[in-house]
Structure 1
Amino acid sequence: MQRLILVDKSVIIRKVAKRILSDLGFLVSEADDAQTALSICKGRVPAVMIVDACLPGATDLIGEVRELPGGDKVKIYYCLIEGKFKHMMQGKRAGADDFLLKPFDREILTKVFSDQSKTAA
């Protein structure tokens, strides 16, 4: 079972996404701020990380995770409300691998993450 950390200020977003991603076979951790997320990642680097672009310190968090041992292997999704090129480039420069647009639902998360959950951690 792959570890995934979901970093978002919204309790509702975390709750819904955790339920869907857990159903897809991920072991999901949650954090509502960058500091908590970094502490979790220092304990054990996840296979996948979803970071809300609106979170204070989101790009710094991505860079700090990349510097951790094994951090270069984490698949990081930068989660945006809209696909603005400027924000996408900020995430990419920080080290994000891909983007996820909010609001997302079961269909979107299943399409993006169903194959990844089956890969060995």
Structure 2
Amino acid sequence: MSVEIKTGAHILVVDDDLRLLRLLQRYLTEQGFRVSIASSAKEARTILLAVYPDALVVDVTMPGENGLEFTESLRKEGFHFPILLLTARGEPQDRIAGLEAGADDYLGKPFEPKELMLRLKLHIKRVSTPSPNEPSGPVKLGTLEYDPQRSLLKDKNNNFIHLTSGEAALLSLLTWHANEVLSRESIARALSLDDIGERAVDVQITRLRRRLEKDPREPQFLQTVRGKGYVLKPGG
């Protein structure tokens, strides 16, 4: 099944392997993307001063600031585009570390460029295409308000709270199924995390609770239903 993306979606690829950089630049360009490349996190930061890409592809094992450190710092700085990590280490614990740093996806080396392209298309589509089940207006979560049509979370003073694309996708999914218990399995499948494992869902839930809850250890809105899964209970 083909996945449509907006024309000219911009991808920034960051990897110290210049041969791989050139290969991905050529392949993704042929697939209709606009592509920028950087051989280090430092070089990528310079590019980010001028452009805001639709997605980022980052190698984990770069010298200097590695991919995990770079991803985590970008999230802290408020960048919320999808980030896909590349690594020769494909163990589940490595993937979990990537998600904890704020990444949306993880692809082990060696990989087929077509798989990378398809994953990028899915993530870009996920953050740009509304669901037919979306509520018609913003959803109240205490003093916060979430607009699922624009994937925007703001506080009572109308200050926007940055969400990663993974956090926004999870919150949108829970919003579309508000007051409905969703199993970890169904969430993993909906967010394309099933190849990583349900532990990845717990990581994203924990990250999202830090955004939504006054006390993430005693969640009011994003609750755990023991033995069943998670449920979002909106309310003012």
Q: TM-score w.r.t. structure 2 length?
A: 0.45
Q: How does 1:43-62 map onto structure 2 within 5 Å?
A: 43-56=50-63, 57=65, 58-62=67-71
Task: Report the alpha carbon displacement of residue 60 of structure 1 after superposing the two structures with TM.
Answer: 2.0
% of aligned pairs identical?
26
Change (3 A) 1:116 1:90: closer
Moved over 4 A (4+): 114-120
Give unpaired runs (5+ residues) of structure 2: 1-7, 129-236
Normalising by structure 1, we get a TM-score of 0.82
The structure with more radius of gyration: 2
Greater displacement, 51-60 / 22-31: 51-60
Q: How does 1:93-108 map to 2 (within 5 A)?
A: 93-108=100-115
Q: 2:85 aligns with which of 61, 78, 87?
A: 78
Q: Which whole-Å CA distance do the structure 1 matches of 2:9 and 2:40 have between them? A: 22
Aligned residues: 118
Task: State the superposition RMSD in angstroms.
Answer: 2.2
Distance 2:95 2:122 in 1: 24
Call closer, same or farther: CA 1:24–1:114 in 2, change over 3 Å: farther
Cα-to-partner distance string for 1:33-62 (whole Å, 9 max, x where unaligned): 111112212322211101101113212211
Counterpart-to-counterpart distance in 2, 1:64 and 1:24: 30
Instruction: Give the equivalent residue in structure 2 for 1:87.
Output: 94
Counterpart of 2:99 in structure 1: which amino acid?
K
Question: Please, which runs of 5 or more residues in structure 1 have no aligned partner?
Answer: none
Q: What is the CA distance between 1:2 and its match in structure 2?
A: 1.3
Structure 1 residue 82: Cα displacement: 3.4
Q: 1:63 aligns with which of 48, 72, 81?
A: 72
